[in-house]
Amino acid sequence: MSLEDKPKEACGVFGMYSRALAGELAQQTYFGLYALQHRGQESAGIAISDGERTTAMREMGLVSQVFDEAKLAALEDGHISLGHVRYSTTGSASWENAQPEFHGRGEINVAVAHNGNLVGSAALRDELASEGFEFHSTSDTSLIAACVVAFLERGYPVEESVGSAMGRLKGAYSVAMICRDALVAFRDPQGFRPLCIGEVEGGYAVSSETCGLDIIGARFLREVEPGEVVVIDDGGLRSHRAQQPRPALCVFEYVYFARPDSRFGGQEVADSREKMGERLAEEAPADADVVIPVPDSGIMAAIGYSRRSGIPYAEGLIKNRYVGRTFIQPTDGMRQLGLRLKLNPLPSVIDGKRVVVVDDSIVRGNTSRKLVRMLFEAGAKEVHFRVSSPPVIGPCYYGIDMDTEDQLAAARYSVEEIRRMIGATSLAYLSVDGMVAATGRPKGRLCRACFDGEYPVEGAAEKFALERR
Ligand code: SF4
């Protein structure tokens, strides 16, 4: 659910290379981004290239607000496209930081779409500035572009330039890039953020998630491997293993960020979420009459919880699906209204019942407190709060905008203290092992750092590190 104290998604990237579809790429890229909208709602952009000239449009707003038929038609035809939806995890939400970003020196230009957060970006920016690079945006994406340009200038081929640039980068980056007459996709050695490849008529598409491929009818081929550079041009698709892989896909993608119909490692995200609910029912049973989800992200886990516990499932909270980011914030005196704008209880499901309410995560706890109060006001006899992920105890440095430690409820309080804060009859979280098992991936191949403190890459990223300089 996109309530105010939830972590924010990072970004979505999309790209295509097809001469057979030249003339349709702007539209297809629009649809790809449309499917990835959940990964970023602040800005959207599309670039189209014929290998020599690149035209682009990027604006603040949702994909459907930024583009219409006329604007897509105004992008010149070409056989390479790049698209991006953004939520600002480094740098503020401003037009300058919208993507795709362009970077170049002299004859060499690249367009970049990036999902993730670099670690140590301030020091890297200093290094690149001392090499004569100038930066017009405060996002870390321009640093990735500059690193690649620096090697292209020395005459390295595209894959080696990107591979060598990766040696200078630390942190999370799943990137699609237009470079010369090629579409390039690459992923950090941990593969924190997802990126996959599909086949289209006469070429290929790359997308943050498989749902971006599905929408344009692309056939899923495989994921871009951690540490891999994929170059797509008239010669087809080439792979270059640039960095030793140390896989650590973000487990929060399974818990909350990715769309339920996307697939990682062949497993649907929806399936993982149902399994998280089943494990939760085993680990934290409740004596109750009904299981209700917090829509939408708690739905799959609640179904799993209901199935394993035998307690009937019902929709007890109705979500207003049309609340945008711009609605007028209610005053303090109307505090409950803030939540009621988005969720309203169904008394016929809740009144007189012992209710299990399933949510995917608790970050600050403010929304959970309002929710519990709302359920009691609707007549619930008991409210058993169940969370289909473990307590969030630390911040994320790899592209997810989460609160700092002092704002994270579980970093400061015990489960019992949080239960009292939110006013629930009982409160329980899924264990780290239970969450990991539900993904079907070995524990060592997942980043779980915000849940267990084991950070795969040292050093903190700072959201506005490049703006203070
Ligand atoms: S710290 Fe948490 S949110 Fe960030 S990449 Fe790791 S698991 Fe994902």
Mutate to test the pocket of ligand 1, among 87, 250, 255 (most ligand atoms within 8 A of CB): 250
Q: How far apart are CA 290 and CA 310, in angstroms?
A: 9
Ligand 1 centroid distance, CA of 458 (Å): 13
Q: Distance (Å, rounded) from C-alpha 180 to C-alpha 157? A: 10
Q: Given the CA of residue 446, which atom of ligand 1 is nearest to it?
A: 7
The pLDDT-based confidence of 367 (bands split at 50, 70, 90) is confident
Spatial distance between the Cα atoms of 336 and 18, rounded to a whole number of angstroms: 51
How many angstroms separate the alpha carbon of residue 454 from the centre of ligand 1? 10
Mean pLDDT of 84-96: 72
| 125 to 132, 140, 423: CA distances (angstroms) | 11, 8, 47
Ligand 1 atom with the shortest distance to the CA of 451: 2
The CA 317 to ligand 1 mean position distance, Å, reads: 28
Residue 290 — very low, low, confident or very high, per pLDDT cuts 50/70/90? very high
Q: Are strands 317-319 and 228-233 parallel, antiparallel or unpaired?
A: unpaired
Q: What percent of the chain has pLDDT over 90?
A: 74
The pLDDT tens digits for 24-74 are 999 999 999 999 999 998 899 999 999 999 999 999 999 999 999 999 999
Q: Are the CB atoms for 72 and 26 separated by under 8 Å?
A: yes
Name the nearest CA neighbour of 211 among 264, 252, 158, 151.
264
Distance of alpha carbon 132 from alpha carbon 116, whole angstroms: 25
Residue 303 has pLDDT above 80, yes or no: yes
Residue among 277, 272, 251, 248 at smallest CA distance from 260: 272
Active-site annotation holder among 11, 196, 250, 450:
11
In three-state secondary structure terms, 186 is strand
Confidence of residue 446 (pLDDT cuts 50, 70, 90): very high
Q: What's the gap in Å between 65 CA and the centre of ligand 1?
A: 30
Pocket (CB within 6 angstroms of ligand 1): 192, 250-252, 396, 398, 400, 447-450
pTM for the complete prediction?
A: 0.92
Asked if 388 and 273 touch (Cβ cutoff 8 Å), the reply is: yes
Q: Sort strands 354-359 and 43-49 into parallel, antiparallel or unpaired.
A: unpaired
Tokens of 226: 């951690």
Alpha helices in 110-225 (DSSP H): 121-130, 141-153, 158-166, 210-215
Tell me the CA–centroid distance for residue 253 and ligand 1, in Å: 8
- Name the maximum alpha-carbon separation found in the chain: 73
Domains present along the chain, CATH in parentheses: 11-257 (3.60.20.10), 269-321+332-439 (3.40.50.2020)
Among protein residues, the one with the nearest Cα to ligand 1's atom 4 is: 396
Which pLDDT does position 333 carry in this prediction? 60
Q: How far apart (Å, rounded) are the C-alpha atoms in residues 19 and 206?
A: 15
Write the single-letter amino acid at 451. F
Contacts of 253 (CB under 8 A, 6+ apart): 193, 194, 264, 269
Best residue for ligand 1 mutational test, from 447, 454, 458 (most atoms within 8 Å of Cβ): 447
**Dihedral angle of Cα 111, 114, 120, 121, to the nearest 10 degrees:** 40
Distance (Å) from CA 347 to ligand 1 centroid: 37
| Residue tagged 């890297």 (tokens) | 124
> Pocket of ligand 1, candidates 448, 452, 457, 458: which has the most ligand atoms within 8 Å of its Cβ, to mutate?
448
**What is the per-residue pLDDT across 185-204, written as a single tens digit (0 to 9) for each?**
999 999 999 999 999 999 99
Catalytic residue status for 11:
yes
Q: Highest mean pLDDT range out of 79-93, 111-125, 337-351?
A: 111-125
Residue ID of nearest Cα to ligand 1 atom 2: 450
What angle is formed at CA 276 by the lines to CA 271 and CA 278, rounded to 5 degrees? 95
Q: Within a 10 A sphere around the Cβ of 190, how many other Cβ atoms?
A: 25
Cis ω for the linkage preceding 296 (within 30 of 0): yes
Taking the CA of residue 392 as reference, the ligand 1 atom at the shortest distance is 2
Per-residue pLDDT at 266 = 87
Q: How far is it, in rounded angstroms, from Cα 209 to Cα 194?
A: 7
Place of tokens 């100038």: 134
Q: What is the mean pLDDT of residues 248-252?
A: 96
